[in-house]
């Protein structure tokens, strides 16, 4: 419990800043909805003039622009990108900082097993991400309702929840990367290329339109067009995502308990 | 009862040697010195004892329990001070020490205050505002606050001024009198001589020798160098007890063990322009042990 609280305290400021920044971006975009919805026909026309391949790559769903969740899904692609960076930073940093800040000699010689240390760090990561998403929703839901009181809340929340799923995937990936590597000098030097790499693969995949490519990048596990049309997630992707998270965490435990902690 | 039992402990980092076949015991209440040059394997041995690294083969036990499988249990009664101390920069000293104390199921607040006073440490400052020496003091308090039965110190005195070293050694002696066992690694012979009752000497990953401090100091070698005005007949210095007799131009150097008056007389017979009589360095002590080993073989 003491490790958990210590970790949570040291990441509190960071996740609050991330949550508020992402919520503010979403809110600003949502505030445009009323202005645009009155001219939705003209707006749709403008979008239609964009080549289809580019539209797909950028995630514009022309057909569903007339509803608030559909409109929201455009900006949400990019919020996912931010959220993924936050989650991966957190995952890498929470494990690797004992090595990079050279505090491993302190923490790992205390009378606690490595598994308990990793438990505490995982819980702190999870709680940070849950808190991020709660702050995010606390801002975006009232803004959405103010723009359109008749907003389909189920769809709005389903789209919002994908942020949490994607974050879980990137956080577990970050933890695994941190556990496997001997020492990470700069967290963003690892997280940014990784996250952008997956994002670009996702964009390219949308242009090709190949379903198999979607399995390669967490960004495409939740297709807004599918969610908007069916009010459901695609089971095969949810299962794959959950499996990847469990596998990454399980591997992290196996490696972390046996890892040699070297002097600096 | 032995507090530490190390049996054929071997660690390779890939192909690079860490330690090879290290074995020694430390008895209850002993102050045991672990001495060797940098890179000899002192830290590797200590880090294995603390289960920070896993041995390639062999085993180590503390309090009769295996170091790897029972690590958390053993750690309750160990205080560890690494050679370089690093803590969470943004924390205050007192918060860090409380965090450290929270791992042991006892109230350490009084002890923290006591130790901080002894070490002249300001508890309200932030870790990243501290000098190297002050960080070391935090390390010392952190190491002793839960009154551990076994204190493991890896090159503990670097960064401490001589006065603080004195206070620190006094503290260690008190802990030892109260019953704590101490394992202290160092590459400075004098440091070990000050406090230890027994030493293990490690070089190139292997224990060369384990012996009582008294035996080690009985071999009271002096390193003597004399500068002569002109080159004289050096054979007059070829006495029993003299070894490594070497001449480099006007400088004659050798090691001497035995009655110091004898050699002083011999030196006075020669016209000299300068003389140095010194304690041999650790490397030179090792040289001596290597040769002894070869003679026996």
Is A262 in Cβ contact with B80 (below 8 Å)?
A: no
Q: Does the CB of B82 have a partner CB in chain A at under 8 Å?
A: yes
Where in the sequence is the domain holding A231, given as residue range(s)? 2-258
Contact A55, A203 (CB under 8 A): no
Looking at residue A51, what is its pLDDT? Answer: 80
Dihedral-angle region of residue B26 (phi above 0 means left; psi in -120 to 50 means alpha; beta otherwise): beta
Looking at residue B58, what is its pLDDT? Answer: 95
Is A10 in Cβ contact with B88 (below 8 Å)?
A: yes
Per CB-CB distance under 8 Å, the chain A contacts of B71 are: 113
Which of B73, B80, B88 is closest, CB to CB, to A109? B80
- The per-residue pLDDT string of chain A (264 residues; one tens digit each, 9 = 90 and over) reads 899 999 999 999 999 999 999 999 999 999 888 877 777 777 777 777 778 777 777 766 666 677 888 888 888 989 999 999 999 999 999 999 988 888 999 999 999 999 999 999 999 999 999 999 999 999 999 999 998 888 889 999 999 999 999 999 999 999 999 999 988 889 999 999 999 999 999 888 888 877 788 888 999 899 888 888 888 999 999 999 999 999 999 999 999 999 998 875
Number of domains in chain A: 1
Distances (CA, A) of A72 to A28, A59, A87, A205, B21: 11, 11, 21, 21, 66
Contact A131, A12 (CB under 8 A): no
Which of B52, B75, B86 is closest, CB to CB, to A103? B86
- Tell whether the model's pLDDT for residue B214 goes beyond 90: no
**Of A78, A67, A80, which Cα lies nearest the Cα of A144?**
A67
Looking at residue B287, what is its pLDDT? Answer: 65
Is B90 in Cβ contact with A105 (below 8 Å)?
A: no
Give the pLDDT band (50/70/90) at residue B297: very low
- Residue A248's CB is within 10 A of a number of other CB atoms, namely 20
Helices (H), A59-186: 68-100, 104-107, 114-147, 153-180
A238 assigned to some structural domain = yes
Helices (H), chain B: 42-49, 71-75, 93-101, 109-119, 132-144, 162-177, 189-195, 213-218, 260-268, 282-296
In chain B, domain spans: 2-217, 222-278
Contact B126, B89 (CB under 8 A): yes
**Of A94, A72, A85, which Cα lies nearest the Cα of A11?**
A94
Looking at residue A46, what is its pLDDT? Answer: 77
Per CB-CB distance under 8 Å, the chain A contacts of B54 are: 258, 260
**Of B162, B208, B160, B194, which Cα lies nearest the Cα of B40?**
B208
A223 assigned to some structural domain = yes
Q: What's the whole-number mean pLDDT along residues B216-240?
A: 77
Cα gap A107→A207, rounded to integer Å:
48
Looking at residue B110, what is its pLDDT? Answer: 92
Q: Which helix (H) or strand (E) holds B6?
A: strand B2-13
Cα gap A146→A31, rounded to integer Å:
9
Phi, psi at B268, each rounded to 5°: -65, -15
SS3 B207: strand
A263 assigned to some structural domain = no
A43 assigned to some structural domain = yes
Cα gap A221→B48, rounded to integer Å:
44
Which of A103, A263, A264 is closest, CB to CB, to B87? A103
Cα gap A218→B108, rounded to integer Å:
48
Give the pLDDT band (50/70/90) at residue B244: confident
Contact B68, A259 (CB under 8 A): no
Contact B122, B96 (CB under 8 A): no
Q: What's the whole-number mean pLDDT along residues B30-37?
A: 91
**Of A55, A92, A47, which Cα lies nearest the Cα of A77?**
A55
Contact B34, B202 (CB under 8 A): yes
User: Tokens 């790897």 belong to which residue?
Assistant: B68
Is B87 in Cβ contact with A112 (below 8 Å)?
A: no
Which of A110, A260, A264 is closest, CB to CB, to B103? A110
Looking at residue B241, what is its pLDDT? Answer: 84
Buried b or exposed e, range B41-73, using 16+ CB within 10 angstroms: bbbbbbbbbbbbbebeebbbbbbeeebbeebbe
Distances (CA, A) of A2 to A10, A119, B70: 12, 12, 21
Q: Does the CB of B102 have a partner CB in chain A at under 8 Å?
A: yes
Is A6 in Cβ contact with B52 (below 8 Å)?
A: no
Helix and strand numbers, DSSP H then E, in chain B: 10, 14
Distances (CA, A) of B197 to A1, B157, B186, B280: 41, 18, 14, 20
- Model pLDDT for residues B198-207, shown as the tens digit of each residue: 999 898 899 9
- Residue A182's CB is within 10 A of a number of other CB atoms, namely 10
Cβ contacts of A53 within 8 Å, gap of 6 or more: A207
- Looking at domain B2-217, which CATH architecture does it have? 3-Layer(aba) Sandwich (3.40)
Is A113 in Cβ contact with B86 (below 8 Å)?
A: no
SS3 A83: helix
Higher pLDDT, A14 or B223: A14
Most B CBs within 10 Å: which of A13, A93, A111, as the mutation test of the B interface? Answer: A111
Class of domain B222-278: alpha beta
């Amino acid at each position: 419990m003491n490790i958990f609280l210590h970790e949570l305290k040291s990441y509190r400021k960071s996740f609050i800043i991330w949550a508020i920044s992402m919520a503010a971006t979403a809110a600003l975009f949502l505030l445009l909805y009323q202005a645009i919805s009155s001219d939705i026909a003209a707006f749709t026309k403008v979008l239609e003039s964009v080549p289809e391949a580019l539209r797909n790559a950028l995630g514009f769903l022309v057909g569903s622009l007339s509803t608030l969740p559909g409109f929201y899904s455009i900006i949400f692609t990019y919020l996912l990108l931010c959220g993924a960076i936050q989650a991966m930073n957190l995952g890498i940093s929470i494990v690797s900082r004992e090595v990079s800040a050279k505090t491993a000699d302190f923490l790992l010689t205390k009378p606690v097993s490595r598994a308990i240390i990793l438990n505490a760090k995982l819980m702190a990561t999870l709680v940070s991400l849950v808190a991020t998403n709660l702050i995010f929703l606390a801002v975006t839901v009232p803004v959405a309702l103010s723009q359109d009181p008749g907003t389909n809340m189920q769809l709005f929340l389903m789209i919002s929840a994908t942020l949490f799923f994607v974050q879980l995937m990137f956080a577990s990936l970050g933890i695994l990367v941190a556990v496997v590597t001997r020492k990470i000098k700069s967290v963003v030097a690892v997280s940014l290329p990784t996250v952008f790499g997956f994002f670009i693969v996702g964009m390219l995949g949308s242009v090709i339109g190949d379903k198999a490519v979607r399995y390669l990048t967490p960004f495409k596990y939740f297709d807004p067009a599918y969610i908007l049309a069916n009010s459901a997630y695609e089971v095969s992707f949810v299962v794959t995502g959950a499996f990847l998270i469990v596998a990454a965490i399980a591997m992290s435990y196996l490696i972390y308990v046996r890892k040699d902690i070297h002097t600096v | 009862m032995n507090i530490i039992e190390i049996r054929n402990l071997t660690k390779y980092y890939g192909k690079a040697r860490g330690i090879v076949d290290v074995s020694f015991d430390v008895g209850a209440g002993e102050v045991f010195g672990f001495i060797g040059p940098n890179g000899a394997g002192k830290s590797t041995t200590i880090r294995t004892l603390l289960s920070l690294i896993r041995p390639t083969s062999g085993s180590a036990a503390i309090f009769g329990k295996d170091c790897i499988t029972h690590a958390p249990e053993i750690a309750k009664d160990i205080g560890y001070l690494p050679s370089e101390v690093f803590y969470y920069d943004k924390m205050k000293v007192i918060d860090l020490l409380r965090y450290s104390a929270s791992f042991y199921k006892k109230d350490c607040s009084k002890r923290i205050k006591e130790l901080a006073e002894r070490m002249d440490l300001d508890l309200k400052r932030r870790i990243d505002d501290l000098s190297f020496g002050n960080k070391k003091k935090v390390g010392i308090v952190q190491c002793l606050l839960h009154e551990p039965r076994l204190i493991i110190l890896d090159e503990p005195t670097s960064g401490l001024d001589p006065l603080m070293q004195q206070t620190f050694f006094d503290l260690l002696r008190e802990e030892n009198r109260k019953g704590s066992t101490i394992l202290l690694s160092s590459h400075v012979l004098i440091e070990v001589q000050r406090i230890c009752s027994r030493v293990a000497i490690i070089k190139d990953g292997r224990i060369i020798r384990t012996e009582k401090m008294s035996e080690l100091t009985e071999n009271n070698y002096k390193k003597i160098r004399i500068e002569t005005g002109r080159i004289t007949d050096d054979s007059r210095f070829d006495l029993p007890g003299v070894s490594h007799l070497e001449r480099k131009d006007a400088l004659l150097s050798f090691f001497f063990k035995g009655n110091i008056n004898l050699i002083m007389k011999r030196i006075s017979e020669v016209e000299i322009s300068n003389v140095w009589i010194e304690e041999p360095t650790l490397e030179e002590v090792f040289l001596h042990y290597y040769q002894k080993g070869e003679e026996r073989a």
